Copies of this chain bind each other. A is one copy, B any other.
Amino acid sequence: MHRSRITMSEVARAAGVSVSSISNAYNRPEKLSPAVRNRILDVATSLGYVGPDPVARSLRRRRTGGVGVVFTDDLEFAFSDPASSGFLAGVGRELMARSNHLVLLPTGTPDRDRLAELDRAAVDGVILHSLPSRNATLDLLERRGAPAVVVDQPGPVPGLGWVGLDEVAGMRAVGEHLRDLGHRHVGVITSRLSTRPYDGRVGGARRRRSVYDLPRWRIHGLEEGLGRTVTVEERWRVSEDDGARAAAALWSQHPRVTAIACIADTYALGVLRWARERSIEVPHHLTVTGYDDVARAAEVGLTTVAQPFSEKGRAAAGLLLEMVDGVDPRHVVLPTRLHERASSGPPLVR
């Protein structure tokens, strides 16, 4: 804690040695005779000195021991959402294991502000999580040359650390699963693809302009998995946070749909609830799949793709710490796994 009223030189005076020796007592025990070191430590505690001031030390060493994490999403969400909180926990765990600490950076929505806060924070590097892509922040960051790791971004950014999942492969597995089950009309529920709110059908043009890549990648993978060998008549997206409402819309407008693939479990859970209320049997009348494998997914038997949340965090933290130590930026790709559960099955033959 800052504010330690008493300083090294006071301890030095009291112990009758030089400041350097105090410093050595704390930082390089081998440079001091045990006798002197013990005396110093005794004097220190008797004076109530708790050790070198962290700020001064950081200044001198040019190393703070802190890593910043920047979120675009609001904090409430960041902590409660399993994906996000799992990630954070992973970051935290890795950092603490290496005796660094985690700093939560204020997140102003406009890019400029966010970067400003980043410059005001005493950290050795930052981890950027779930940013919109095509992002000014990234460019600026890159130009600056400070250690930074991005997570869940499109392809590796030169000069920055990168950790991502094989999202395409993960969702491809879902697609293949659905195809193999025999589904021919699949609906998709996705989070918003652009920064502007928009509900309803998502055309190709809109999709290509998407600035949020996570959804884009997943949908891409899904379509790959569904494949050409199967004739897929329509693919739909509804950008709506409430899975239930989205499902209702999809269902009423596209009665031929036999499976709904959701880009995240949250939506899928909403769909399941809606189905239950409407007495639509899952998977008999409708197959539902999710993505993320949140805790609740297992409870309700949702077929979904698991991503290793906290592993992702660990990896990001590890990478960043590496970079702080001067290692060149690397990138890491983590695998995902499809959990087939009770919410998916073959479509009704008609």
> Which residues on A are within 8 Å of B, measured CB to CB?
1-5, 48, 50-51, 53-56, 58-59, 62-66, 68, 75-76, 78-80, 82, 85-86, 88-89, 92-93, 95-96, 99, 101-107, 116-126, 144-147, 295, 310
Contacts and interface: CB of A to CB of B under 8 A. Distances in A.
A8 to B, nearest CB: 14
Given A55-B55, A64-B2, A66-B103, A88 B96 contact: no
B80 A122 contact: no
11 contacts: A3-B146, A50-B144, A54-B119, A54-B121, A55-B58, A55-B59, A66-B122, A79-B79, A79-B89, A102-B103, A122-B122
Best-buried of A79, A88, A103 by chain B (most CB within 10 Å): A79
A330 to B, nearest CB: 19
A125 B75 contact: no
B101 A1 contact: no
A55 B64 contact: yes
Contacts of A58: 2, 55, 122
Given A2-B124, A55-B59, A95-B106, 15 more contacts: A1-B68, A1-B144, A2-B63, A3-B145, A3-B147, A50-B144, A54-B121, A59-B59, A66-B122, A75-B96, A78-B89, A80-B89, A101-B104, A103-B103, A104-B104
Contacts of A118: 1
Nearest to A64: B2
Given A104-B102, A106-B101, A124 B79 contact: no
A118 B240 CA distance: 43
Contacts of A50: 119, 144
Nearest to A102: B104
Contact of A1 (B51, B59, B123): B123
A55 B122 contact: yes
Nearest to A69: B104
A101 B93 contact: no
Contacts of A75: 88-89, 92-93, 96
B103 A101 contact: yes
A122 B117 CA distance: 17
A173 to B, nearest CB: 26
A30 B51 CA distance: 39
A79 B75 CA distance: 11
A164 to B, nearest CB: 21
B79 A119 contact: no
Nearest to A100: B106
A118 B295 CA distance: 33
Contact of A120 (B63, B65, B117, B295): B65
Contacts of A86: 76, 79-80
A48 B59 CA distance: 20
